[in-house]
């Protein structure tokens, strides 16, 4: 019987279409059982099996290609057995397109109270009941959910971390990866490995080498955006990304601001996710080609222009800044709906603009134009 790593190749593919002539930026297509994903791609986050404030139909109308969801949260509520009974997460949430699930490796480790052992990570749920998340349980849960891309169960360590802690944690994460691969038995679901190693280049390199030996369908940079700051983040990404296989998708986890995305793409990253566009939207912070605006600011009281004149989303085509400010001031949930719609559209069009530029060998011009327009704070 062929290895699962070879079986999955029938259902999950990555085609590298083009590398920009003047940078490392790449354009490609990921093929999954629920559809194709042109890259670079940004993945909106639907932690509990819902993109907060948005109907799946709205996401489909915007042509969102893939969303992310979370093992940890869906395990606690409603439980992955129930989701499996409902026919899997795609059916349960009525989202017919690709889904990536994170392993819980990040969510558990951001808890205050947990204990990490060789077996896995132990913590208490809302009712105080002990729960063990391990490589085996994480993969079993992700297989019950039926995501197109599953993430390996890892330890995401905070910044700063000592070299000794980082090395020991990373070695354990590799042993966990082998247990993930042992548990993985559905060739219609791809398993991605996660590169750790904190700020230590030699450990990052060692980690990539270990992961590549396992011949996985894709690889992710983890352990970034954990408090290290933009400079370290760029150092880690620019060192690690070129070490990753050219013929597999490269994913940077939990990043980031529009500026960060430009940096990721310039370094040859294909996929990323972040709660920023959705979370900021619900708080009234909206992205525009000229920078962020805080829509509740009094300046927008009589501003009858759209959020972003260069945006063609439903919100920008139909509503003014003054109206959206009014919705936020009145605590109308439609404000959050319209804001989320816009921010998701903004991130999508940024990624699409980058992809087009890469295919035409003008990514650096794209970057230049972005920074010429985008002010750090425009409100
Ligand atoms: N999300 C953001 N960073 C990480 C990471 O290092 N590991 C996992 N599993 N998820 C993440």
Spatial distance between the Cα atoms of 355 and 94, rounded to a whole number of angstroms: 28
pLDDT digits (tens, 9 = 90+) for 275-288: 999 999 999 999 99
Other C-beta atoms within 10 Å of 103: how many? 29
Spatial distance between the Cα atoms of 57 and 311, rounded to a whole number of angstroms: 20
Spatial distance between the Cα atoms of 87 and 69, rounded to a whole number of angstroms: 16
What residues does 85 pair with on adjacent strands? none
Q: Of all atoms in ligand 1, which is nearest to the CA of residue 105? A: 9
Spatial distance between the Cα atoms of 91 and 354, rounded to a whole number of angstroms: 32
Decide if pLDDT at 344 tops 80: yes
Span of 66-75, 88-97, 125-134 with lowest mean pLDDT: 125-134
Q: Is 124 helix (H, G, I), strand (E, B) or coil?
A: strand
How far does the centroid of ligand 1 lie from the alpha carbon of residue 142, in Å? Answer: 15
Q: Of all atoms in ligand 1, which is nearest to the CA of residue 153? A: 9
The number of helix segments (H) and strand segments (E) in the chain equals 16, 16
Q: How confident is the model at residue 377 (pLDDT cuts 50, 70, 90)?
A: low
pTM of the model as a whole = 0.98
Which amino acid residue places its CA nearest to atom 4 of ligand 1?
A: 222
Spatial distance between the Cα atoms of 276 and 258, rounded to a whole number of angstroms: 9
Spatial distance between the Cα atoms of 348 and 10, rounded to a whole number of angstroms: 28
Q: Mean pLDDT, to the nearest integer, of 189-216?
A: 98
How far does the centroid of ligand 1 lie from the alpha carbon of residue 281, in Å? Answer: 23
Nearest alpha-carbon partner for 319 in 305, 302, 334, 299: 305
How far does the centroid of ligand 1 lie from the alpha carbon of residue 106, in Å? Answer: 5
Spatial distance between the Cα atoms of 176 and 379, rounded to a whole number of angstroms: 46
pLDDT digits (tens, 9 = 90+) for 150-168: 999 999 999 999 999 999 9
| Residues in the chain, total | 379
Give the pLDDT of residue 379.
Answer: 45
Q: Which sign, positive or negative, has the C-alpha torsion 293, 348, 92, 129?
A: negative
What are the percentages of helix, strand and coil residues in the chain, rounded to 5? 45, 20, 40
Which amino acid residue places its CA nearest to atom 5 of ligand 1?
A: 222
């Amino acid at each position: 019987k062929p290895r699962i790593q070879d079986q999955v190749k029938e259902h999950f593919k990555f085609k590298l279409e083009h590398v920009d002539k003047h940078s490392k930026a790449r354009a490609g297509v990921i093929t999954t059982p629920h559809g194709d994903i042109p890259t670079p791609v940004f993945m909106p986050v639907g932690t509990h099996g819902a993109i907060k404030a948005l109907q799946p139909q709205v996401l489909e109308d915007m042509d969102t290609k893939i969303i992310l969801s979370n093992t940890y949260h869906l395990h606690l509520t409603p439980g992955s057995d129930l989701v499996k009974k409902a026919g899997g997460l795609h059916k349960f949430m009525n989202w017919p397109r690709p889904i990536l699930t994170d392993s819980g490796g990040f969510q558990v480790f951001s808890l205050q109270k947990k204990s990490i052992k060789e077996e896995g990570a132990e913590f208490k749920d809302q009712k105080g009941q002990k729960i063990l998340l391990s490589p085996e349980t994480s993969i079993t849960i992700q297989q019950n959910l039926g995501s197109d891309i599953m993430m390996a169960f890892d330890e995401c360590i905070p910044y700063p971390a000592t070299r000794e802690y980082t090395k020991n944690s990373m070695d354990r994460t590799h042993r966990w990866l082998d247990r993930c691969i042992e548990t993985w038995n559905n060739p219609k679901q791809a398993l991605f490995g996660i590169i750790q190693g904190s700020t230590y280049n030699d450990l990052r390199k060692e980690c990539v080498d270990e992961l590549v030996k396992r011949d996985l369908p894709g690889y992710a940079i983890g352990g970034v955006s954990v408090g290290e700051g933009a400079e370290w983040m760029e150092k880690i990404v620019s060192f690690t990304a070129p070490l990753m296989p050219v013929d597999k998708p490269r994913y940077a986890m939990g990043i980031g601001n529009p500026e960060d995305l430009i940096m990721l793409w310039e370094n040859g990253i294909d996929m990323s996710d972040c709660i920023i566009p959705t979370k900021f939207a619900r708080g009234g912070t909206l992205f525009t080609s000229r920078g962020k605006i805080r829509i509740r600011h009094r300046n927008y009281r009589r501003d009858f222009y759209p959020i972003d004149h260069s945006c063609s989303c439903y919100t920008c085509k139909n509503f003014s800044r003054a109206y959206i400010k009014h919705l936020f001031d009145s605590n109308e949930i439609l404000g959050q709906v319209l804001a989320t719609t816009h921010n998701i559209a903004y991130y999508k069009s940024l990624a699409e603009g980058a992809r087009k530029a890469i295919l035409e060998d003008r990514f650096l011009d794209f970057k230049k134009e972005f920074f010429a327009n985008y002010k750090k704070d425009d409100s």
